[in-house]
């Protein structure tokens, strides 16, 4: 009886080890596939998207116009933020420039 229990424990231990070994092999296969396979996947995705856009030209024009408007709005907002907030003011001796503010608190 004791021998049977011992054998069951050892066989379970070997099953766990073989399962862990299979998991490590699977991880290595996934890592190997994902190392060089992303470019292949990107190429397939681009081909599929161009093929689908060619099948429906109205959707293609709408999506291209939407993307171009979004990019133009982003560039315009960045231009405003860059000129108004990021670049220094175009005054000589900026260190001597002071601002006056009025305090509206009731005393």
Are 53 and 63 in contact, with CB atoms under 8 Å apart? yes
Same domain, 4 and 37: yes
Q: Could you tell me if residue 7 is inside a domain? A: yes
Same domain, 31 and 9: yes
Residue 83 DSSP symbol: I
Q: Residue 107 — pLDDT band, cuts 50, 70, 90? A: low
Same domain, 62 and 45: no
Average pLDDT of the chain to the nearest whole number? 76
Interhelix angle 2-55/57-81, rounded to 10 degrees, is: 90
pTM of the model: 0.46
Same domain, 43 and 67: no
Are 37 and 44 in contact, with CB atoms under 8 Å apart? no
Q: Could you tell me if residue 97 is inside a domain? A: no
Q: What's the pLDDT at 1?
A: 46
Same domain, 33 and 67: no
| Number of structural domains the chain divides into | 2
Same domain, 39 and 72: no
Q: What is the pLDDT of residues 39-91, one digit of tens each?
A: 778 888 999 988 988 899 898 999 999 999 999 999 999 999 988 887 777 77
Same domain, 2 and 50: yes
Q: Residue 33 — pLDDT band, cuts 50, 70, 90? A: low
Q: Could you tell me if residue 105 is inside a domain? A: no
pLDDT of residue 11 exceeding 80, the answer is no
Same domain, 4 and 48: yes
Same domain, 83 and 49: no
Q: Can you say whether the dihedral through the CA atoms of 29, 35, 38, 41 is positive or negative?
A: negative
Domain membership of residue 78 as a residue range = 56-89
Q: What is the pLDDT of residues 40-52, one digit of tens each?
A: 788 889 999 889 8
């Amino acid at each position: 009886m004791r021998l049977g229990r011992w054998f069951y424990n050892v066989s379970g231990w070997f099953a766990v080890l073989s399962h862990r070994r299979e998991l490590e092999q699977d991880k290595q296969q996934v890592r190997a596939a994902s190392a060089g396979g992303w470019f292949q996947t990107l190429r397939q995705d681009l081909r599929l998207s161009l093929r689908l856009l060619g099948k429906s030209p109205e959707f293609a024009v709408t999506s291209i116009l939407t993307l171009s408007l979004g990019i133009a709005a982003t560039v315009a907002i960045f231009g405003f933020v860059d000129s108004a907030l990021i670049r220094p003011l175009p005054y000589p001796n900026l260190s001597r420039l002071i601002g006056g503010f009025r305090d509206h608190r009731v005393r």
